[in-house]
Amino acid sequence: MKIKLSPSILSADFANLERDIKVAVDAGAEYVHVDVMDGHFVPNITIGAPVVKSLRKATDAVLDVHLMISDPDKYLDDFIKAGSDIITVHCEANGDTREQLRKIRAAGIKAACVIKPATPVETAIELLPECDMILLMTVEPGFGGQGFIPECMDKIRALRKAIQDGGYQCELEIDGGVKQNNVVECIEAGADVIVAGSAVFGGDIAANVKGFLEKFEKG
């Protein structure tokens, strides 16, 4: 299984996003994880579709857009038009998640659903036919730099088993608290897209990306 790194720009320098993304991508990151927060679904505000539109011009990397917003139905068109490659909607947000996923796919974009740590895995599993990727939060969404919730490891295993048993071509991404010292265990549990924010953009970005890629070979 090919493991991919999706550095979360939440921990990058917002005044130098193009520069920081280029360093991460040149070092081998395949995805760029964009955390969109509305101050309502989560207690933090970050960036919106205009920034995704600008990032689209700044990089050819896969823009992996994680919508932590209460009303995806209101804003999906904006994120589709902005040039997202993957759009991820929360199962806990308003509206019909299955319809949201269908709308994303109909626009020719990869569709993903995400569950918070306390949401049962079955909520995501029943949406597998509509998903190109499932994202499991391994911290409470809202902030970078939190600690990985250990109980999530079993959820990674359960989701991987469901993907395998159903024969789905679906990636399994994890997000929150992933570091070089716990990533191998996460990969062994079944994750194949790894989001890392503080562990990539804190310090030497290129060295951090390469450190992760070396760990991926061990997983």
Q: Which residues are catalytic?
A: 35, 175
Residue 153's nearest CA partner among 188, 192, 200 is 188
Tell whether 28 is in a known binding site.
Answer: no
Terminal CA-CA length for the chain: 9
**Residue of closest CB approach to Zn ion:** 66
Smallest separation, CB 22 to ligand DX5 (Å): 19
DSSP string, 158-210: HHHHHHHHHT---EEEEESS--TTTHHHHHHHT--EEEESHHHHSS-HHHHHH
Contact between residue 121 and residue 162 where contact means Cβ atoms under 8 Å apart: yes
Tell whether 108 is in a known binding site.
Answer: no
**Residue of closest CB approach to ligand DX5:** 197
Smallest separation, CB 101 to ligand DX5 (Å): 19
Select 35 or 132, whichever has its Cβ closest to Zn ion: 35
Tell whether 40 is in a known binding site.
Answer: no
Tell whether 203 is in a known binding site.
Answer: no
Contact between residue 172 and residue 191 where contact means Cβ atoms under 8 Å apart: yes
Selection from ligand DX5, Zn ion, none that 208 binds (CB < 5 to 8 A by kind) is: none
Smallest separation, CB 164 to ligand DX5 (Å): 25
The site for ligand DX5 (CB under 6 A) is made up of 8, 10-11, 33, 35, 66, 139, 141-142, 144-146, 175-178, 195-199
Which positions make up the binding site? 8, 33, 35, 66, 142-145, 175-177, 197-198
Which positions make up the binding site for substrate? 8, 66, 142-145, 175-177, 197-198
Which positions make up the binding site for a divalent metal cation? 33, 35, 66, 175
